[in-house]
Amino acid sequence: MSEVTTRIARLFVYPIKSCAGVEVNEAVLTETGLDLDRAWMVVDSEGEFVSQRELPRMALVKVQMKFSEVILRAPGMLALHLQIDTVEAPARVRIWNDEVSAFDMGDTAAQWFTDFLGQKLRLVRFDPDERRLSSPKWTGGAQALNQFSDGFPILVASEGSLAELNRRLQASGRDAVGMERFRPNIVLEGLEAHDEDRFDLITIAAGGEVVLKAVKPCARCPIPNVDPATAVSAPFVSDALQAYRSNPVVDGAVTFGMNLIIVNGIDQTLRVGQAVSAGWRFA
User: DSSP labels for 41-88?
Assistant: EEEETTSBB--TTT-GGGGG-EEEEETTEEEEE-TT---EEEETT---
pLDDT at 132 over 60: yes
CA 182 to chain centre: 8
Euclidean distance between CA atoms 260 and 33, whole angstroms: 9
pTM of the model: 0.96
pLDDT for 29 equals: 98
pLDDT at 1 over 80: no
pLDDT at 280 over 90: yes
Residue 229, C-beta contacts closer than 8 angstroms, at least 6 positions apart: none
pLDDT for 282 equals: 74
In eight-state DSSP terms, residue 114 is H
Of 283 and 56, the one with more pLDDT: 56
Q: Average pLDDT, whole number, for the chain?
A: 96
Euclidean distance between CA atoms 268 and 30, whole angstroms: 8
Strand partners, 73: 62
pLDDT for 199 equals: 97
Residue 97, C-beta contacts closer than 8 angstroms, at least 6 positions apart: none
Give the residue-averaged pLDDT of 235-263.
Answer: 97
Sign of the C-alpha dihedral computed for residues 165, 171, 176 and 177 taken in this order:
negative
CA distances from 259 to 46, 90, 185 (A): 29, 30, 10
pLDDT cut 70: percent of the chain above it: 99
For residues 46, 151, 98 and 86, what is the CA-based torsion angle, rounded to 10 degrees? -60
Instruction: Write down the H helix ranges in the chain.
Output: 107-117, 136-139, 159-171, 236-242
Closest CA to 201 of 262, 275, 269, 267: 262
Give the residue-averaged pLDDT of 142-159.
Answer: 98
pLDDT at 283 over 70: no
CA distances from 137 to 33, 96, 267, 279 (A): 19, 16, 26, 21
Euclidean distance between CA atoms 15 and 110, whole angstroms: 16
Euclidean distance between CA atoms 38 and 52, whole angstroms: 14
pLDDT for 208 equals: 85
pLDDT for 67 equals: 86
Tell me the per-residue pLDDT of 159-208, one tens digit each, with 9 for 90 and over.
Answer: 999 999 999 999 999 999 999 999 999 999 999 999 999 999 999 998 88
Q: Please state the φ and ψ torsions of residue 220, each to the nearest 5 degrees.
A: -105, 130
Instruction: Kindly provide the residue ranges of all beta strands, DSSP E only, lying in 96-198, ordered along the sequence.
Output: 98-104, 121-126, 132-133, 145-146, 154-158, 186-189
pLDDT cut 90: percent of the chain above it: 96
pLDDT for 2 equals: 58
